[in-house]
Structure formats: C-alpha cells, structure tokens
Structure 1
Amino acid sequence: MNRTDRLYALVEELRACAPRRLAARELAARYEVSVRTIERDIGALQQAGVPIFADVGRGGGYTLDKSRTLPPLNFTPAEAVAVAITLSRAGGSPYSRSARTALHKIVAAMSADDGASARELAARIRFLAPAGNDDAASVPAVLEEAVLIRRVVRLTYVDRTGTETERDVEPVTFTASDKGWYLTAWCRMRGGCRIFRTDRVRRAALLEETAPDRSTESMHDDIPSDYVVRPLEFV
C-alpha cells in the first residue's frame, strides 16, 4: 500500500472506530509499517486539517471527530480537479488560505482510486504566468475574521496619494473587481461608507466591539455607474 492509499485508509479506519481510540502500535501492525511512520502520517493529516486528536498515556491513542469530517464523497476525478483549478486561481481572494484545507478535505473524503485518478489528472494541468510575476497579495486575515464575526477593525491605510491614516471601520462586504479586492465598510473617521483596497491596508487590528448590522445595499453608493454588483452565488 502506498502512502496516499494509507492516509485515506487511516482516515476511514479512525472514522469507523470513533469515538474509540486506536493506538499507533495497533495501526502500525494493521498497515505493516513502523509506529514512527504512523505518527508521521497522522501528523500530515492533522496539518491538512483532518480533526484527529491524540490521547497520551495508558489506553491512549488516536481518535477522529466525525462531526467535523466528510463521509466518502462521490466526486469524480474531473469534478475534484475542477474545484482545484478554481481554488488555485483564487490567490489573493478572501479566505484563500482556507481553500487549500478545503481541497485536502475533499480529496481525503474521496475513494482511494478516485483520489489517485484526480491527482494524476491534476498533474496534467498547467498555468502560464509571466516570469517574475508575484502572487496576488493575500487579504489580511484580520479582515477575513472581522467580516466573518462582525467586529470593528482599526486600520492603518494608505490612499492613492500615499497618505497614511489610522481609522476604525465597520466591515460589511468584500468586493472584487478587475483591479483586485476591496473592503466595503462604514468609516467612523469619515462618517460614511468607504471602499478600501485590501492591498493598501498596512496594519489591521481586531477590536472587541461588535459591528452594527448595516444593509449591504446602502454600501454601493461609491460603486462606479459603469459597474454592476453581483453577489457570490452559493448553492
């Protein structure tokens, strides 16, 4: 059994036995590898976002939280690769750091054969980019969290003239255009809606205050008239 198949089998084994714990020695004997190999495999799965927990001491072992994992999925290899292509083109978008974890979870929940076929197909996909072209700047994680949990943020922001200001804002939406990603927020310094380019945010700090619930419709006044705002479709 190769490592990819073993990782998939470990997840399914732990899911089937949960909440009972399985010892590393027991798993090593089952898959005919060393205890150290099992420990490395478990570590790799944990880094990929699989919720495996270890209990040390007598009677300890590994257990998996079934409520936070997916059962085997009927994704075809082509569907999984289509998701991977979409995620790989989302560099610099909000929550892009979560995309890789999501993809690991999808592939881990596929059958071993389909997962292997998806990896083989993915190896035949290429992206062409200009030499020296840097990846898009990531949206600050603080802004992602602020929109998710509705919290006020203190921004240090540089405008188009190079002027740096510090202000408290109430994040409402992320908006994408052909020029990059923007944070639409209520600016307390200006007393109105403002749109901030995320790549001009120098520092961002999450405050303890909960942001008021503001209508997204009232946040589109600064959008150029030749643009149309479309919401993200999620089915």
Structure 2
Amino acid sequence: MSKAQRLLDILMFVSAKKKFTAQEIADEFKISIRTVHRYMLDLSDMGLPIYAEQGRNGGYTVLSSRMIPPILFTEEEAVSIFFAFQAFNYYRDLPFETEIHSVSHKLYSSLQKEAQQKVDKLQSYVAFWSPKRSIETPLLKDVLKAAIDNKHIRFQYASKKGTTIKYVHPFGVYAQDGLWYMPAFDLTKEKILLFRVDRIHAITEFENNSKEFLNLQQWFSNTYEINHPIRLHVQLTSEGVRQCKSVLSFEGLVITKEDGSGYIDSLIDEGELHFISSLFYRLGVHAKILEPQALIEKLRQHANDILTMYPQM
C-alpha cells in the first residue's frame, strides 16, 4: 500500500474517532508506534488540527469538525471554485469568512504553477463586482445560526425612526449590492418584514421555537401566504422594465410588451409598500403607479418633502 493511500485511510479513521492513541492506530493499521507519530506530523502539515497530549494517559485529539475525504478536481473545476469565492471579496463581513479564505488558499496552493498563473491573469480580467462596503455586520453569524436553529430573536434595530426593539423569526440571510438582508416574520406585527443585518446593533434574546416557519428559499419563491393582499398595477417605460427586472422581488412580475415597455399587475402584501415606494420614487417618470392609492400617496409625500427642502427663490 502506498504512503498516500495509508495516510488517507488514517485520516478517515481519526476523523471519525476524534480521540485516539498511537497504539490504537498502530494496532489498526499494523504499523509501528514510530511510524504513527510520523504520520501524525504529516497529517498535521496537511491541515488536520491534531492536539497531542503527552504522558501515560495521553494520546491525540482532532480539534475541529470531521474531515471529509480528498476530492479530485480537474484543473478547470478547481479554477471555477476559486473564482466562485471571489464573489465575496466586496463584502465587509461573511458568515464563514475564515473558512472561505482557508478553502480558497488551499485550492490555489494545490494548483500546478501553470494553473496558478492562469488564475493570476484571470483576476485582472474577471470580477464579481458589488459596491465596496465598509459597513460592519458583526451579528451576521448569529442571525444566520438563529435561522438555521429555528429560533426567535429579539434585537435592537436602528432605522430612520430611531432604535427600536424587534421580535422576529428569521428566514435566513442573503447578500445584495454589498449588503446583507434578513427577511423575517415580525411576531409583534404578525407580518413579514425585511431587515438590514448591519442595522442590528444587539441581540438581546434567543428563544426556542417549535412551530414551522418559512426558510429563505421558500420566501424567494413567493410561496408564502399574502395576509393583506393589495393590487400593484404599474405602467413601465422600457427603462422602467429594465430596472424592475434587475430587482429580485419584481423580476417575475414584469410583463414586457413588443415595443419594450411593460407593466406590473399583481397582488402583493400591504406590508411591502414601505419597501417598494423608494424604488418607484427612484424610477421617476419611468413608472406610473395606477394602484394602490396608498403607494401613490407615499410617492406624493416623498416628492413634497423634497420640494420643501428646496423652495423657489
């Protein structure tokens, strides 16, 4: 048996066992104690976090989570994975930042010199661009873990109305334009709201939950129930069509005509008006709201507020 195959077999054995002695390895693989110690050094150099404890009752402990067996990638596959990680370069915080950088480094180091040169050159010509943000999102991991663990959270949230206390069940997190967002069911208002994760200043409580809520993918696919339906009817110019199709929540709602213009005519939840009003205000003359009247009033109020700031001389 080759050394590489023997190391692989030992790697799988110790990853499953977690805590073991050199004698156990020697007995299992019919090798000497000295060879075991040498193999442990080799595995440590390969990145397996092993802690060795000296003494009569000593042994080895694998410190981190279970290792997976080596996977053989073609050069093109390895390069594609490396570049997939580059999409996160513009984000100030990531849920698993250390792990992503570690995997990226291992992939790059495993490439042949010619492939490394190819990666270096491609980085000058290919980028997954998002606005470079300096805003910190320190509670990103905590929010994501609460969603995965099916927990409610109570937190301090900074908005234009000041800092308020929110009590929600998070569906997950997603990244857009360099920022992280958390759709969640507001347990106080009993409706789905969208929160900027960087505006969560402190989580004051995690609460166990036994009920079943949406996950992020279900929310994306619009399979959730609309509790307070209202009709959204908007006429769009060709530029309005283009911009609305670039917004995740509107992409599937836009109907395009032969001349490039289009419209939206769909039911949405009344609670979404606050979030979509800023989009349609930004679109200006490229989007004419026909319904609902409440959205029209929000746009009129916004326009009046701007005019008040700039009175005629």
Q: Do they superpose with TM above 0.5?
A: yes
What pairs up with 1:1-235 in 2 under 5 angstroms? 12=8, 14-15=10-11, 18=14, 21-22=21-22, 26=34, 30=38, 38=41, 42=44, 45=47, 50=48, 52=50, 54-58=52-56, 60-62=58-60, 68-90=66-88, 91=91, 95-97=95-97, 99-100=99-100, 103=103, 107=107, 115-117=110-112, 120-121=116-117, 122-124=119-121, 126=123, 137-138=136-137, 140-159=140-159, 161=160, 163-178=162-177, 180-210=179-209, 212-215=211-214, 216=219, 217-218=223-224, 226=244, 227-229=247-249
Report the Cα offset of residue 155 of structure 1.
Answer: 1.4
Question: How far apart are the structure 1 equivalents of 2:145 and 2:210?
Answer: 12
Partner of 1:196, secondary structure, is strand
The alpha carbon displacement at 1:117 in A equals 1.9
Determine the C-alpha separation between the residues in 2 that align with 1:28 and 1:104. Answer: 30
CA contact (8 A) 1:152 1:168 kept: yes
Match of 2:290 in 1: none
Distance 1:178 1:134, change over 3 A: closer
CA contact (8 A) 1:92 1:135 kept: yes
Distance verdict in 2 for CA 1:29–1:53, change over 3 Å: closer
Change (3 A) 1:11 1:170: farther
How far 1:146 moved relative to its partner?
0.6
Q: Write the letter of the residue equivalent to 2:193.
A: R
Kindly provide the amino acid, as one letter, of the partner of residue 42 in structure 1.
S
Q: CA 1:211/1:185 → structure 2, altered by over 3 Å: closer, same or farther? A: farther
CA distance in 2, matches of 1:221, 1:156: 26
Give per-residue Cα distances to partners, 1:14-65, cap 9 Å, x unaligned: 4166456449x9469748xxx9xx49x83883xxxx4645444236443659
SS at structure 2 position matched to 1:152: strand
**Percentage identity across paired residues of the two chains:** 18
Once residues 134 and 211 of structure 1 are traced to their aligned partners in structure 2, the CA distance between those partners, rounded to angstroms, is 37
Q: Which one has the largest radius of gyration?
A: 2
Is the 8 Å Cα contact of residues 170 and 212 (structure 1) preserved in structure 2? no
186-195 or 134-143, which deviates more: 134-143
What is the Cα deviation at residue 143 of structure 1?
0.3
The code of the aligned residue for 1:95 comes to P
Distance 1:57 1:99, change over 3 A: same
CA distance in structure 2 between the aligned counterparts of 1:30 and 1:195, rounded to whole angstroms: 54
* Preserved contact between residue 186 and residue 192 of structure 1 (Cα < 8 Å): yes
What secondary structure does 1:89 align onto?
A: helix
Q: Which amino acid aligns with 2:212?
A: D
Distance 1:182 1:101, change over 3 A: same
Q: Distance in 1 between matches of 2:57 and 2:46?
A: 23
Cα offset for 1:189? 3.0
Q: CA deviation at 1:140?
A: 1.7
Distance 1:9 1:221 in 2: 59
* Alpha-carbon separation, structure 1, partners of 2:172 and 2:135: 19
Contact 1:22 1:63 in 2 (8 A): no
Paired residues, number:
203
Contact persistence 2:133–2:178 (CA under 8 A): no
Q: Mind listing any 5+ residue stretches in structure 2 that lack a counterpart?
A: 24-32, 235-243, 252-313
**Does the CA contact (< 8 Å) of 2:158 and 2:164 recur in 1?**
yes
Equivalent AA in structure 2 for residue 195 of structure 1: L
